Copies of this chain bind each other. A is one copy, B any other.
Amino acid sequence: MKQVIFVVEDDAGIMGLYAMALENAGFEFCGFNSAEDMFASFANGKRCDLIILDIMLPGMSGLDALARLKQSSDYSAIPVIIASAKDDEKNKIGGLDAGADDYVSKPFSMNELVARIRANLRKAPVAAEKEGDVLAYGDIVINDREHEVHVNGQPVQLTLKEYNLLHLLMENIDTVVKRDRILSVVWDYDYVGETRTLDMHIKSLRSKLGEKTDKQYIVTVRGVGYKFSKI
């Protein structure tokens, strides 16, 4: 199911660019010429995963719209990226203070925009997936309440350390977790010096997850740590 991006922008030309870039990147695009139109659409029950909001708008300003979104209990969780023609620091700070999750100043490349969208979309799902104590990605499901892990629907038997390690990595999906941090979270270490313990557990975790699939979930980021990767 494609993720839906709302774009509020009054300039038709720029809107066209958004449409093209977002469709291209695999999102469902939905544009509005004014903030009022967007709220009307919300009222009609339409939903989205992220909003791109121009600051300079006819009628209700972008910042006002932002304030309204962030006050509402229904919509406050939706990430909002402010887009502005002004490369004006004041505006930038203002927007972030008002609750925007990110900011791009025009002109920006569509690559940058897509990167920012992806980054912001990724912050949200953790909360969503956390409910019911279940973290899931792809073929791997980790159920905290039951303390069980399934790969491709098949239960796999993890030891405590393996479980905690996987849990930490999945909590931080697509995010590098530094070796130090892993050691201090999964182990208690104030460790000084060399240990191959972490590597060992990564290895056994990989083999237990990999026995049932050939996909590489746990990615080594040399010199930094490991991340659980969607890609």
Query: Which residues of A pack against B, CB within 8 Å?
Result: 102, 108-109, 111-112, 114-116, 118-119, 121-122, 125, 133-134, 136-141, 143, 145-147, 150, 152-153, 155, 159-160, 174-176, 178, 180-181, 184, 190, 192, 221-224, 227, 231
Majority-rule SS of A interface residues: mixed
Decide if A109 touches B139 in the complex (CB within 8 Å): yes
Decide if A184 touches B122 in the complex (CB within 8 Å): yes
Q: Which residue of the partner chain B has the closest CB to A116?
A: B134
Q: Which residues of B contact A147 (CB under 8 A)?
A: 176, 221, 224, 227
Distance in angstroms between the alpha carbons of A1 and B176 in the assembled complex: 17
Decide if A192 touches B109 in the complex (CB within 8 Å): no
Q: Which residue of the partner chain B has the closest CB to A151?
A: B111
- State which of B143, B150, B155, B181 has its C-beta within 8 Å of the C-beta of A125: B181
- State which of B122, B146, B221 has its C-beta within 8 Å of the C-beta of A174: B146
Given contacts A146-B175, A147-B224, A192-B118, contact A112 B125 (CB under 8 A): no
